Chains A and B, each alone.
Chain A
Amino acid sequence: MLKCTLNGREVEVKEGTTIIEAFYQNKIDIAHYCWHPGLSIAGVCRLCMVEIEGNPRLQIACNTVVTEGMKVNNQSAKVKEAVKWGLDFHLINHPLDCPICDQAGECGLQDQYMKYGQYDSEMAEAKQKKHKVVDLGPRVVLDSERCILCSRCVRFTDEVSKTNELGIFNRGDRAEIGTFNGKPLANKYSINTVDICPVGALTSKDFRFRQRVWFLKDAETVCTGCSTGCNVKVYYNREGLFRVKPVYNSEVNGHWMCDEGRDVYKFVNKESRLLDARVVSGVKSEHMTAFEAAKRVGEKLKGAGKTVGLVLTGSYTVEEYEAILSYFKTEVGTDRVFHWINNPESFEGFDGLLLRGDRNPNTRGLVQAMQKHGLTAQWKELTEALSTGSIQTLVVAGPENQVWFPDFKVKVAELSKATRLIWMTSGKSSALDELKGEVTLIPMKSYIEKSGTFVNHTGRAQTIRPVTSIVKGALSLTEVVTAFRGEALQGSEVVPGRSENEVGRGRIHNEFTLSRGTW
């Protein structure tokens, strides 16, 4: 460990730490654009200038390693002047189209301007014109004028995704980011370039123009796109979820996540959700609350024994598995529990970075729970039992991410051979709507609306918390079990209203609105 002083504060850092890392570890603000902890050092934005005692020249913090007793300062007048000018150099050719730029609100240039700038630019000459609204690939749009050439995205495609699509072409202030000859930026991790872009040069097609970021709240959760279980942040407001971004976790996903994982929020929004329970009996079809439907099912399940089968997918939490398995084992009295996996061929697949073939967040948790309860039934037993009719009532839970179950429709047809089918899922599907016979559809809570634990492929347990409520009245599996038993629901799973903190934030927002120009 080395001792050094940052802005007069004595701290200890590991040997080999750069100054900017020391600043970060001690949560002291330092301006920077090109440095990113997950990428190599470029040292080109020249914004992380610091004054080191005994060195007359300002140094960049990202490429200077801390030495014993080093005294570093990034608050001196000299540094502030340098950063102010560094920022001005970034801005002289920047188009300042913040009103139509998606990055506005979370833009590095805006943030640094408020911290170090607040000056009137002296640039009176015409700005450099470059390409705007360049369709870079299926998920990314480029605006070269906004680009500050920090090279983060280029380093990402060179070092992380190793796909080398991006390059900086030309030189000097004519330089532009781009792909060769319009070849699309189509790797599986392309939106990460949007995340790491400190300005609005790269924007995500999916999120583009859908919301201003200051209308969104965020909450941390776990991605349910595959068994890697990337730590993510979801951005939402009362209209639903709008985007997903990765959160750094050195042991799971590092700084990144895949593009497909960012689509997970779409399964959660109202458009793709089952909104209320439906009980179909022959030609009769009745809508009711999920709780009511589950209660009715429970009355028939109790003590029904081995004529009942249960099909589970890996989309639920450990707590939910525990509740439903013990209910089926003890109160229903059946051990016919089957594990439905999405794609047996590529189930063990892995793309080498993050994305796994197992597209369920909690397969490991399900397997562990089934082992614990001594459940060993194989899928082919189910097929047999359905054809022989030894299973009459079949309860199915999931899958939540239907698009990643390529055989979903085939399986629905196969499972509908059961006399009575109870299907619990959060997503709506035409295949389920068209089911005939005795069918009960129960809307489930998505991962964003419940708490629980997911166990990822390495066995790491990660907890999720309820973020927002999208479908009122939807249930978690635990709550379904409560309803099966005919007990009343506890209010514990209800998403709390506005916390005091949030009220406070609203007040601050209003005060800003009403007293503009005074800060």
Chain B
Amino acid sequence: MAESKYLTEHYGKPEYCTLDGYKKLGGYQVLEKALKMQPQQIIDEVKASGLRGRGGAGFATGVKWGFLPNNGEPRYLLCNADESEPGTFKDRLMMERAPHQLIEGMIISAFAIKAKKAYIYIRGEYTGPAAILEKAIAEAKAAGYLGKNILGSGFDLDLDLYIGAGAYICGEETGMISSLEGLKGQPKLKPPFPAVQGYLRKPTIVNNVETLAAVTYIIRDGAAGYRKYGTEKSAGTKLFSISGNVNKPGTYEVPLGYKLMDLINIECGGMKPGRKLKAVVPGGSSAPVITAEECERATLDYECLAQMGTMLGSGAIIVIDDSNCMVDVLSTITHFYHHESCGQCTPCREGTGWMEKIVHGIVHGEGKPGDIDLLLKIADQMKGRTICALSDAAALPVLSFVTKFRDEFEYFIREKKSKVRGGQIYAQMHA
């Protein structure tokens, strides 16, 4: 099996960014087909396709759409383009290379869930993609794909772009809704879930860029056509963002169920010369790390990775070779979560800071013998204790790093220097 260009078929063609170029390559034809369908038909098709959310949680999209209450309240569709999970950069590529693909997917999805207003929430740092999207939205509006009575179907949709300002937590759907409401991006209590009470307490569906883009393809090829790719439970293709110590990092689209080692060795050109694979973080920084041996068995689908105690997440694969000190890597991760905790729930607010201080102490040679067990205890108590999953996301890497590479941590605490690179790691060289 090799890389399959399905969503990314036309990526890299500069004209694909413009409306005309996009239309020439088959764009907006599916929209015409979709607008002739019944909304429920589209939802059923998406349900049948087995499409699962590509943002991280992997929740079945069709099922999520089915949660919307039928009470005649206005509904909202939000596109989550606040891609901030460390290691993830696929959405940026999609928005830069194919803005109209996202817009078409959003119009179809909005039509399916009967939303009259849709937002794309893009992270503030993505000023380039934001400009491209604004232009594309203006083009689509001018061409009548957005606005009143789209293509004579009687369906209205207003699509707008909302820019964030630098907060990881706004990638969480209720955090994003808070941010969109003009508040701090702090997640909201669930229940009520956004599908029932979301943006402005109205039913709201939040989907990832890739998920919404894939809807177009499901309608084009039908559920069966989409299911040609991937496995029974993990259908379709997925864009994987691969970074770290490989020869050709980048975004690759492969069907789900693809072998992890194939992706690293074939698509990414393998490890750097003379280096050995040490570990892989398979789904963005919050996914528990897997060791080189586990990588041999890993296939890129939701089930296999869940079985290994980790997750597919957003499809961000960070490859770590043997030149890296795992304590040092963990220190950047704990710093990240400490910095990004919104500060609402106590276990997360205090726990992320505590863990960072401990790991920081270890990398600066101030570790104490009890630190490892304390880290495990703190991480364990942070799991499942908070409103959103950030606390879990902060705890899981700590748990997995410490248990799977315990020897490195113990060595560091004992010798006050790293086991790799002869102890030459950043924290100690630049103290």
- At the interface, yes or no: B69 with Cβ under 8 Å from chain A? no
- Say whether, besides A82-B385, A86-B385, A92 and B341 are in contact (CB < 8 Å): no
Q: How far is the CB of B374 from chain A (nearest CB, A)?
A: 5
8 Å CB contacts to A: which residues of B156-188?
167, 184
Quick check: B387 and A89 within 8 Å, CB to CB? no
- At the interface, yes or no: B269 with Cβ under 8 Å from chain A? no
- At the interface, yes or no: A374 with Cβ under 8 Å from chain B? no
Quick check: A58 and B352 within 8 Å, CB to CB? no
- At the interface, yes or no: A125 with Cβ under 8 Å from chain B? yes
8 Å CB contacts to A: which residues of B317-357?
338-347, 349-354, 357
Contacts of B341 in A (CB 8 A): 171-173
- At the interface, yes or no: B381 with Cβ under 8 Å from chain A? yes
* One of A81, A86, A124 near B346 (C-beta < 8 A): A86
- At the interface, yes or no: B358 with Cβ under 8 Å from chain A? yes
In the assembled complex, the Cα of A360 lies from the Cα of B109 at a distance in Å of 64
Quick check: B354 and A149 within 8 Å, CB to CB? no
- Say whether, besides A172-B343, A175-B343, A63 and B189 are in contact (CB < 8 Å): yes
Quick check: B354 and A125 within 8 Å, CB to CB? yes
Number of A-B contacts defined by CB within 8 Å = 88
Quick check: A124 and B338 within 8 Å, CB to CB? no
Q: How far is the CB of B368 from chain A (nearest CB, A)?
A: 7
In the assembled complex, the Cα of A89 lies from the Cα of B391 at a distance in Å of 13
- At the interface, yes or no: B144 with Cβ under 8 Å from chain A? no
In the assembled complex, the Cα of A194 lies from the Cα of B146 at a distance in Å of 52
Most A-side CB within 10 Å, residue of B189, B377, B384: B189
- At the interface, yes or no: B191 with Cβ under 8 Å from chain A? yes
Quick check: A174 and B343 within 8 Å, CB to CB? yes
- Say whether, besides A63-B189, A125-B358, A126-B357, A44 and B345 are in contact (CB < 8 Å): yes
Contacts of B27 in A (CB 8 A): none
- At the interface, yes or no: B273 with Cβ under 8 Å from chain A? no
Contacts of A175 in B (CB 8 A): 343, 349
* One of A57, A86, A171, A172 near B347 (C-beta < 8 A): A86
- At the interface, yes or no: B231 with Cβ under 8 Å from chain A? no
Q: Which residue of B lies closest to A81 (CB)?
A: B381
- At the interface, yes or no: B197 with Cβ under 8 Å from chain A? no
Quick check: B353 and A128 within 8 Å, CB to CB? yes
Contacts of B374 in A (CB 8 A): 122
Quick check: B354 and A41 within 8 Å, CB to CB? no
Quick check: A171 and B338 within 8 Å, CB to CB? no
Task: Encode contact with A along B362-383: 1 for CB under 8 Å, 0 otherwise.
Answer: 0000001010001001000100
Contacts of B189 in A (CB 8 A): 41-43, 63
* One of A58, A92, A174 near B354 (C-beta < 8 A): A92
Contacts of A174 in B (CB 8 A): 343
In the assembled complex, the Cα of A172 lies from the Cα of B387 at a distance in Å of 14
Quick check: A149 and B370 within 8 Å, CB to CB? no
8 Å CB contacts to B: which residues of A71-110?
81-82, 85-86, 89-90, 92-93
Q: Which residue of B lies closest to A59 (CB)?
A: B384
In the assembled complex, the Cα of A122 lies from the Cα of B354 at a distance in Å of 10
* One of B339, B361, B386 near A172 (C-beta < 8 A): B339
Contacts of A173 in B (CB 8 A): 338, 341, 343, 349-350, 352-353
In the assembled complex, the Cα of A93 lies from the Cα of B351 at a distance in Å of 10
Quick check: B346 and A172 within 8 Å, CB to CB? no
In the assembled complex, the Cα of A45 lies from the Cα of B348 at a distance in Å of 10
Task: Encode contact with A along B294-319: 1 for CB under 8 Å, 0 otherwise.
Answer: 00000000000000000000000000
Quick check: B346 and A90 within 8 Å, CB to CB? yes
* One of B339, B361, B377, B384 near A125 (C-beta < 8 A): B361
Most A-side CB within 10 Å, residue of B343, B351, B370: B343
In the assembled complex, the Cα of A44 lies from the Cα of B385 at a distance in Å of 10
Quick check: B342 and A149 within 8 Å, CB to CB? no
Quick check: A93 and B350 within 8 Å, CB to CB? yes
In the assembled complex, the Cα of A435 lies from the Cα of B43 at a distance in Å of 89
Contacts of A42 in B (CB 8 A): 189, 344
Quick check: B384 and A44 within 8 Å, CB to CB? no
- At the interface, yes or no: A353 with Cβ under 8 Å from chain B? no
Most B-side CB within 10 Å, residue of A85, A93, A168: A85
- At the interface, yes or no: A123 with Cβ under 8 Å from chain B? yes
Contacts of A85 in B (CB 8 A): 347, 381
- At the interface, yes or no: A46 with Cβ under 8 Å from chain B? yes
- Say whether, besides A58-B384, A123-B354, A46 and B345 are in contact (CB < 8 Å): yes
Contacts of B381 in A (CB 8 A): 81-82, 85, 89
8 Å CB contacts to B: which residues of A331-353?
none
Contacts of A47 in B (CB 8 A): 346
Task: Encode contact with A along B188-209: 1 for CB under 8 Å, 0 otherwise.
Answer: 0101000000000000000000
- At the interface, yes or no: A148 with Cβ under 8 Å from chain B? yes
Q: Which residue of A lies closest to B385 (CB)?
A: A46
Most A-side CB within 10 Å, residue of B340, B345, B346, B349: B346
Most B-side CB within 10 Å, residue of A45, A47, A57, A173: A173
Q: Which residue of B lies closest to A90 (CB)?
A: B346
* One of B346, B347, B385, B387 near A148 (C-beta < 8 A): B346
Quick check: B343 and A171 within 8 Å, CB to CB? yes
Q: Which residue of B lies closest to A33 (CB)?
A: B346
- Say whether, besides A43-B189, A93-B350, A124 and B368 are in contact (CB < 8 Å): yes
In the assembled complex, the Cα of A168 lies from the Cα of B349 at a distance in Å of 13
Q: How far is the CB of B337 from chain A (nearest CB, A)?
A: 9
Quick check: B351 and A44 within 8 Å, CB to CB? no
Quick check: A58 and B350 within 8 Å, CB to CB? no
Contacts of A149 in B (CB 8 A): 343-344, 346, 349
Interface residues of B (CB under 8 A from A): 167, 184, 189, 191, 338-347, 349-354, 357-358, 361, 368, 370, 374, 377, 381, 384-387
7 smallest A-B Cβ distances: which pairs? A125-B357, A175-B343, A85-B381, A89-B350, A173-B353, A172-B341, A43-B189
Between A and B, 30 residue pairs with Cβ closer than 8 Å are A41-B189, A45-B345, A45-B346, A46-B385, A47-B346, A49-B385, A58-B385, A81-B381, A85-B347, A86-B347, A86-B385, A89-B350, A89-B354, A89-B381, A90-B346, A93-B350, A122-B377, A123-B354, A125-B354, A125-B357, A125-B361, A128-B353, A149-B343, A149-B344, A171-B184, A171-B343, A172-B339, A172-B342, A172-B343, A174-B343
Give me 16 other A-B pairs in contact (C-beta within 8 A), A41-B189, A45-B346, A86-B385 excluded.
A42-B189, A44-B344, A44-B346, A45-B345, A58-B385, A63-B189, A81-B381, A89-B381, A92-B350, A122-B374, A125-B357, A125-B358, A125-B361, A148-B346, A149-B349, A172-B340
